[in-house]
Amino acid sequence: MTTTAAEASATPEQDAPISALRRWAITVTVMTVTVMQVLDVTVINVALPHMQGSLSAGVDEISWVLTSYLAANAVVLPATGWLAGILGRKRFFLLCTVGFTLASALCGLAPNLNVLLLARVLQGIAGGPLMPLSQAIMWEIFPFRQRGMAMAVWGMGIMMAPIFGPTLGGWITDNWSWRWTFYINLPIGVLGFFAASAILFDPSYLRKPGKIDIPGLCLMVVGFLSLQLFLDQGERYEWFDSNFIVILGFTAVVALIGFLVRELTADEPILDLGVYRDRNFAAASVIMVFVMFGFFSSMVLLALFTQKVLGYDAWTSGLVLAPGGVGNLFSLIIAGRLINRMDQRILLLIGCVLNAWAAWNMSVLTSNVDYWALAWPRFVQGLGVGFIFVPLNAVGLATIPRISMGNATALLNVVRNLGGGAGVAVVSMILARRTQEHQSTSSPTSIPSTRRRRPACPRGRPTSARTGPTASPRSSAPSPGCTRS
């Protein structure tokens, strides 16, 4: 569909235009709250070792600080559009903001691990809908020709928060306490709540569902919960060597197939899959899966490489990842300006080529590299992701009716998390198996006597610095810089 045709099809659905001042006030408000939620995932990542010592927890126990949040997040995310219809979008956004803020306070005050895990579940439930809600709000308040810039602004927070999160989390933890990684959400949440109360509004097209689809709701909860746990716990339990993982995988497949069948046949589905009849949206969803797969998997590998092989601390490792955020910022701004002035497929092509070049350069890294050999590919990768992200969201949502926008943005975020989670799981599995393969084929006699013996790994599994949608604090593979005794 051409830009003119798409604009014409969208025009009849528009409400009365709002002023530019209110439009940008809404943008700042929803992005402040959303960035708080996205940033929280990666900020907590580097604080896990400190939590482990403070709460006297084991590595496997403390890992549930992340797993509980991500599982709760995955369950509620697909139902965002349905819940917004029941509660009203403004009220739902305010409830999520209050819930996330109060849960953050409870996390910081937690006297033991059980209370912390309960608070993290509440955080995940409240935080999950914030991303699709903010995207839908920003898409609708801007006129058609400014929506590319709107998605660029939205992408700045969504894409850069995971990059700068580890650096910020390391600084807060080292200088204050792990509890302050939660307390910093309090003033942001309070400010966001009062601002949203004053300027947000409910669109006229939202309608309340006539009944609750109980079977679909149950299948959704079981399916997405099992899938998230499968991706997050698979590495720890050696994947299909564990009956627990096999059961989780089987349950996820059966429940999600049942959920798809139910949603396609129900009169009032929880998640309206009819948006996939739109060719642009379907293609954007597929591309999003692969882009997020590569983006988050490379971030995980680079973090592990810098900390486990090169011996960087969390702060320095974060500085290696940070140039990706700088490149992302530049490309998001440029793409937002160019999206209505050139073929959007060209922007996508530029982004894909830049990502391919960056991935190739990161694939030939050695233990003798300096900082700039690591930082430059990250900068180029961030540059490429920005050129992909803006046109992908703009094209994918351009021809979606406004009444389906909540479902569409929820589905885009579901596939985004699915791609990132699958990428982290796959590269972690490959890393673990390749490490075991190299250890099994290496022999002590093959090491020259003039070389210094590598230190033995500490007992237990080392802690990694994984980041991303399914970040987890453990790695079943031993550090590449040590050998098992």
Residue 409 confidence (pLDDT): 83
Closest to 483 (Cα-Cα) out of 433, 451, 435: 435
Report whether pLDDT(476) > 70. Answer: no
Separation of alpha carbons 177 and 169, rounded Å: 10
Residue 444 confidence (pLDDT): 52
| Tokens 């509980």 found at | 68
In tens, the pLDDT along 344-377 reads 888 888 988 998 898 888 888 887 888 888 889 8
What 3-state DSSP class applies to 474? strand
List C-alpha distances in Å: 95 to 128, 195, 196: 12, 13, 11
Residue 210 confidence (pLDDT): 64
In tens, the pLDDT along 183-234 reads 888 988 899 899 888 888 877 776 766 677 788 888 888 888 888 788 877 7
Question: For 250-274, what is the mean pLDDT?
Answer: 84
In tens, the pLDDT along 317-334 reads 777 877 887 888 888 888
In tens, the pLDDT along 101-154 reads 999 999 988 888 888 888 888 998 898 888 888 888 888 888 877 777 777 777
Tokens, residue 371? 């900082």
Separation of alpha carbons 86 and 448, rounded Å: 70
The values of phi and psi at residue 463, to 5°, are -95, 135
Tokens, residue 220? 């959704």
Separation of alpha carbons 68 and 211, rounded Å: 29
Residue 106 confidence (pLDDT): 92
Separation of alpha carbons 417 and 291, rounded Å: 11
Q: What is the DSSP letter of 409?
A: H
Separation of alpha carbons 480 and 432, rounded Å: 10
Tokens, residue 347? 């922007």
Residue 65 confidence (pLDDT): 79
Separation of alpha carbons 249 and 394, rounded Å: 34
Contact 48, 66 (CB under 8 A): yes
pLDDT band at 160 (very low <50, low <70, confident <90, very high): low
Contact 66, 471 (CB under 8 A): yes
Sign of the dihedral through C-alpha 400, 401, 402, 403: negative
- Can you point out the beta strands (E) in 362-410? none
The values of phi and psi at residue 364, to 5°, are -110, 20
